């Protein structure tokens, strides 16, 4: 699929007639300063998911369209679109997911989402907040599927929703679907973590580099039949996906516990350590 022009992609169609690239979809523009501004917003509020989407939009990958064409126009892509047209409906049906055997990926996913107060529909709403127009093409399907599998990455990798966990998941994702947005948030986020947890012995960069290597060595989750994976034992899926235990990430958490640092609020933890009077408040 290399060497194709924008016009070439607008003339490619799936078996059902869906165009690969809609002619009205704006051409992605490289806007690094917009990405930096939204990264700064994200550092102030790691829950600002709209900023994440804007970062990715501002740092388009040259390999983006070839990757979409390779999957979406393949037999596997056709089957995924037929059987899993809209993943949020599958992922938010916890009653159905809970009917899978104990120890399944589905049970782990439900446990995680319910404990965190999250939903796949909620992530869709956050994406909509970014104001991105929608188009009836295969690019839209690919973007949506990339978004909707994000929280599954947390389950499969073992990375939590703390700042280091999110940075690690994004670098794991870069290993799967390379983009400068993943690199910016992942590595610059790790640098910010080191800054907030000043003086920590935790191997923060070792943890995110480990995540990056794991993502490169794992099969692409976006190309897997998610409904089938959900019904299988979590340990079995991790083994098949070649995803080992997140050793360095857990080592960071172990060290932070020793240092009295809360990984979910690094700055507050450090302020508490430096101002003992807060402990008595």
- Residue 267 has a pLDDT of 53
Any domain includes 2: no
Instruction: Give the Cα separation of 119 and 215 in Å (integer).
Output: 24
- What's the structural domain count of the chain? 1
Q: What is the pTM of this model?
A: 0.85
Q: Which of 106, 227, 98, 87 minimizes the C-alpha distance to 155?
A: 106
**What is the domain range of residue 114?**
7-280
The answer to whether 119 and 150 are in contact (CB under 8 A) is no
> Does 206 score more than 60 pLDDT?
yes
Which tokens belong to 44? 């102030």
Alpha-carbon distance of 275 to 270, in angstroms, equals 9
Establish if 1 belongs to a structural domain: no
pLDDT for res 274: 38
Domain membership flag for residue 26: yes
For residue 124, with 0-12 CB atoms within 10 Å meaning exposed, 13-18 middle and 19 or more buried, which class applies? middle
Residue-wise pLDDT tens digits, 262-281 = 998 875 544 433 333 322 22
pLDDT given for residue 31 in this prediction: 84
């Amino acid at each position: 699929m290399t060497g194709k022009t924008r016009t070439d992609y607008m003339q490619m169609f799936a078996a059902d007639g869906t165009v690969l690239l809609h002619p009205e979809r704006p051409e992605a523009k490289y806007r690094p300063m917009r990405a930096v501004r939204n990264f700064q917003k994200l550092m102030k509020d790691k829950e600002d998911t709209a900023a994440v989407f804007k970062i990715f939009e501002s740092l388009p990958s040259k390999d983006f369209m070839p990757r979409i064409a390779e999957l979406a126009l393949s037999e596997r892509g056709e089957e995924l679109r037929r059987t899993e047209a809209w993943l949020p409906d599958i992922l938010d049906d916890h009653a159905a997911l809970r009917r899978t055997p104990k120890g399944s990926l589905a049970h782990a996913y439900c446990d995680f989402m319910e404990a965190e107060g999250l939903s796949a529909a909620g992530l869709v709403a956050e994406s909509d907040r970014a104001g991105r127009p929608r188009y009836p093409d295969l690019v839209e399907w690919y973007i949506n599927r990339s978004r909707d599998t994000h929280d599954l990455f947390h389950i499969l990798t073992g990375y939590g929703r703390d700042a280091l966990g999110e940075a690690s998941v994004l670098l794991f994702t870069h290993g799967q679907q390379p983009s400068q947005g993943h690199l910016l948030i992942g590595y610059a986020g790790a640098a910010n973590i080191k800054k907030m947890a000043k003086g920590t012995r935790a191997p923060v960069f070792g943890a995110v580099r480990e995540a990056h290597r794991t993502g490169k060595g794992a099969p692409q989750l976006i190309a897997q039949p998610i409904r089938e994976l959900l019904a299988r034992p979590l340990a079995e899926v991790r083994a098949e996906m070649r995803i080992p235990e997140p050793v360095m990430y857990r080592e960071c958490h172990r060290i932070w516990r020793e240092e009295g640092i809360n990984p979910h609020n690094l700055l507050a933890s450090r302020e508490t350590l430096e101002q003992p009077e807060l402990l008595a408040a």
